Amino acid sequence: MEKRLAGIAAVIFASFMIASCSSTNDNGSIDPDISDVSGSEGADVTVGDYGDNYKLSPEERAKLEALKRNNTIYFAYDKDVVAPEYANILQNHARFLIAHPEVNVIVQGHTDERGTPEYNIALGERRAKSVALYLQNLGVNVRQLSIVSYGEEKPAVLGTSAEAFAKNRRAVLVY
Amino acid sequence: MNVKLVFSQFLIACVAIFASAQAWAVLHLEVTGGIDSGILIAVPEFSAENTVSQKLSDVINSDLIRSGSFSPMSKDKMPVSQVSGTDVNIQDWQGNDLQNLVSGSIAKDGSNYVISFNLYDVPSGSVILSKKAKVSASNLRKYAHMISNMIYEKIVGLKGAFLTKIAYVSVDYKDAYPFRLVIADYDGYNEHIILRSKEPVMSPTWSPDGSSVAYVSFEKRKPGIWIQNIQGKTRQLITSFPGINGSPKWSPKGDRLALVFSKDGNPEIYTIGLGSKSMTRLTNNRAIDTEPSWAPDGSIYYNSDRGGKPQIYRMAGGDAQRVTWEGDANMNPCVSPDGKYIALITQSNGSYRVARLDLDTKNLMVLSNSQFDESPSIAPNGSMIIYSTIIRGRKGLALVSADGRFHANLPSVSGEVRAPAWSPFLN
């Protein structure tokens, strides 16, 4: 079942990413001058600070700030499946995003330190995609979602204990 | 809002590029095994060594230890502490197991120095190498490395790698720009920070002519591949597709980069022509394909988890052949410059260790005895492997000889050191 969802996710994300990519010409060559795609389409909020510019009522602002404090999903070793205990958190995020189509969120994917850096970038992306797909399935518009994987490069906790590893296997929703 | 303006200001604030020669963390060598199995050699002080800025004999001793092939005699065990010039009384050194002796002299010549040395075969008492050169004061350390190369080549029969460099990433969370890309002599001296960033930097790779490095930078809050000339301060963004831009590796001819993009649905391996900018896709499947490494014949070894767990595959023409069958998983291949073996990370029983896969026998040998190894990179003469591992709780570098006999740690002084990349021959 997960494999099929992963397949569907791949198709959805492929189309999402191709839609926002304006850097290649038809035969797939790369022009360094226009290969920088950040800042395009308005959907990209990676430019600029993490402080946001959304105009929200005080009530809605309070909701967003609460979401920012409760924004991390943890994963089991070598897994990218969203555990049921995070359903509540993700529903709260989804509800806010559906109510505010102008708000975008970046889903960051991270791994623990074990394994090799570039393979962990790929695993981190699987985790970020898994959470983004979960939000989409709750009704969030794909245009509000973008993902980035940091692999093992930005641990939340330094060290090699099981606890440190567990705290680093995560996806983080960043507004 | 002027997005372009905000962006360029942000970029400047995020990354600082400069080639600073800061004398901070030198990577000190801690030998942890195998020093006794090397060739016994003595390199006493050169005459007049105390009068110059570099202790040549110390540099040579350090090089020979780090090669993994030699056991230099410690100075307190030498029958004669400082030989007077290149001529020695060889009987003083015979009668034990000493195999080779290096004696040298330094003479001032205006603002330069004339450096002479003799390399002896001790049992026979004969001089097997003798050289004299005029060297400027600023080149003394470099010339000491050249002497080491000459000694190594004469005795071991391989080209010496003592004038090579390493690139690596240093992380200090207390710094305003925690992530730095560093270039240093292979022994950790002459460190130059060539990039400082508020966001991660990964996976440096050298061009075959040694002039440039390519790397992954997250300075735009998402990964891009950059090429930077290490002499000048010029750098160029090469790719910044949505999704992963990772794992760059320069081809042996210098004309292409192998790379990983996930823009077409999941991580796949591509190559880009650096002149033509043409892109070729090499893998096409639902699995993760990553960590490409070029073999001298132009084939590419890489990590794919298409079989469930990461394993190493070889791609030549359109075909992928699996090459690792032992352990729970195998990843991060690095092909030796002569194409005879691959250094890789093998996982079994929860440990991740540097191992060597011989490509003719298909024999896999675990080389390290640490637990969380990553990022192996091979010296251009194939004799040594540098990698990243946890030393006393912190990420640092380590060396192992290609035959697994010699081990040393290069712990970081502060913060973490990771992602080492050994340069090609530079001389």
B161 closest CA partner among B169, B152, B174? B152
Secondary structure (3-state) at B272: strand
Using an 8 Å CB-CB cutoff, list chain A residues near B7: 38-39, 47-48
Distance (Å, whole) CA B232 – CA A26: 34
Q: Give me the residues of A, 129-158, that contact B with CB < 8 A.
A: 146-151, 153-154
Instruction: Using CA atoms of B365, B370, B371, B375 in order, give the dihedral in degrees to the nearest 10.
Output: -70
Strand partners, B132: B116
Whether chain B has a CB inside 8 Å of the CB on A118: the answer is: yes
| DSSP-assigned states of every residue in B312-375 | EEEEETTEEEE---SSSEEEEEEE-TTSSEEEEEEEETTEEEEEEEETTT--EEE----SB-EE
- How far apart, in whole angstroms, are the C-alpha atoms of residue A98 and residue A113? 35
- Side chain identity at residue A22, one-letter code: S
Answer whether B288 sits within 8 Å of A119, measured CB to CB.
yes
Instruction: Please check whether residue B352 is in contact with residue B373, taking contact to mean a CB–CB distance below 8 angstroms.
Output: yes
Domains and CATH numbers, chain B: 7-21+172-422 (2.120.10.30), 34-156 (3.40.50.10070)
User: In chain A, positions 9-68, which contact chain B (CB-CB < 8 Å)?
Assistant: 10-11, 13-14, 17-18, 20-21, 23-24, 27-32, 35-39, 46-48
Tell me the C-alpha distance between B290 and B249, whole Å: 11
From the list B6, B237, B347, which residue is nearest A47 (CB)?
B6
**Whole-number percent of chain A with pLDDT over 90:** 66
Question: What is the spatial distance between Cα B150 and Cα B155, in angstroms, rounded to a whole number?
Answer: 9
Contact A123 B288 (CB under 8 A): yes
Strand order in the sheet with B201-206: B201-206, B212-217, B224-229, B235-239
Is B200 within 8 Å of A28 when comparing Cβ atoms? Answer: no
pTM over 0.90: no
Sort out which chain B residues have CB atoms less than 8 A from A17's CB and list them: 241-243, 263
Q: What are phi and psi of B387, to 5 degrees?
A: -155, 175
Alpha helices in B24-125 (DSSP H): 56-66
Residue bearing tokens 């390290």: B368
Contact A118 B203 (CB under 8 A): yes
Q: Which of A165, A4, A9, A156 is nearest to A78 (CA)?
A: A165
What is the token pair recorded at B405? 């006999």
Q: Taking Cα atoms as reference points, which of A145, A172, A168, A154 lies closest to residue A71?
A: A172
pLDDT (tens, 9 = 90+) of chain B, 427 residues, equals 444 444 444 444 567 655 444 433 556 788 888 777 899 999 999 999 988 988 999 999 999 998 989 999 998 999 987 777 777 999 999 988 999 999 999 999 999 999 999 999 999 999 999 999 999 999 999 999 999 999 999 999 999 999 999 999 999 999 999 999 999 999 889 999 999 999 999 999 999 999 999 999 999 999 999 999 998 789 999 999 999 999 999 999 999 999 999 999 999 999 999 999 899 999 999 999 999 999 999 999 999 999 999 999 999 888 899 999 999 999 999 999 999 999 999 999 999 999 999 999 999 999 998 899 999 999 999 999 999 999 998 999 999 999 998 899 998 888 899 999 999 999 7
- Partnered with residue B107 across adjacent β-strands are B114
CA A54, A56, A62 angle in degrees (round to 5)? Answer: 110
**Cα A77 to Cα A71: distance, rounded to the nearest angstrom:** 20
C-alpha pair distances (Å), B303 with each of A93, A156, B142, B272, B319: 35, 27, 38, 19, 14
B95-123: per-residue pLDDT in tens? Answer: 889 999 999 999 999 999 999 999 999 99
d(CA A86, CA A84): 5
Asked if A118 lies within 8 A of B246 by C-beta distance, the reply is yes
Q: Does B3 sit within 8 Å of A20, measured CB to CB? A: no
Cα(B97)–Cα(B79) distance, integer angstroms? 13
Chain A residues within 8 A of B263 when measuring between CB atoms? 14, 17-18, 21
Check A39 against B288: CB less than 8 A apart: no
Which architecture characterizes domain A45-174 according to CATH? Answer: 2-Layer Sandwich (3.30)
CA pair distance A70, B242, nearest whole angstrom: 27
Cβ contacts (< 8 Å) between B275 and chain A: which residues? none
Burial B128-156 (b: 16+ CB within 10 A, else e): ebeeeeebeeeebbbbbbbbbbbbbeebe
pLDDT on residue B133: 97
Helix (H, G, I), strand (E, B) or coil at B43: coil
Q: Do A119 and B375 touch (CB under 8 A)?
A: no
Model ipTM?
0.91
Strand pairing category for B268-273 and B279-281 = antiparallel
DSSP string, chain A: -HHHHHHHHHHHHHHHHHHT---B-TT--B-GGG---TT-TTT---SS-SS------HHHHHHHHHHHHS-EEE--TT--PPPGGGHHHHHHHHHHHHH-TT--EEEEEE--SSS-HHHHHHHHHHHHHHHHHHHHHTT--GGGEEEEEEETSS-SS-SSSHHHHHHHSEEEEE-
Question: How many beta carbons lie within 10 A of that of residue B96, not counting itself?
Answer: 12
Cα B367 to Cα B355: distance, rounded to the nearest angstrom: 5
Taking contacts as CB-CB distances below 8 angstroms, the residues of chain B near A28 are 278-279
Find residue B227's DSSP bridge partners: B214, B236
Q: How far apart, in whole angstroms, are the C-alpha atoms of residue B124 and residue B229?
A: 49
**Residue B41 backbone phi and psi in degrees, to 5:** -140, 145
Å from B120 to nearest chain A CA? 45
- Indicate which of A2, A45, A46, A118 best probes the interface with B, i.e. most B CBs within 10 Å of its own CB: A118
Q: Across B137-223, where does the E strand assignment appear?
A: 165-171, 179-185, 192-197, 201-206, 212-217
**The two structure tokens encoding residue B17:** 């590029």
Domain boundary assignment for chain A: 45-174
Residue B69 · residue B152 · CB < 8 Å: yes
B226-231 contacts, C-beta under 8 A, 24 or more apart: B227/B274, B228/B17, B228/B181, B228/B194, B228/B195, B230/B19, B230/B183, B230/B192, B230/B194
| Alpha-carbon distance values, A151 to B48, B241, B376 (Å) | 53, 17, 18
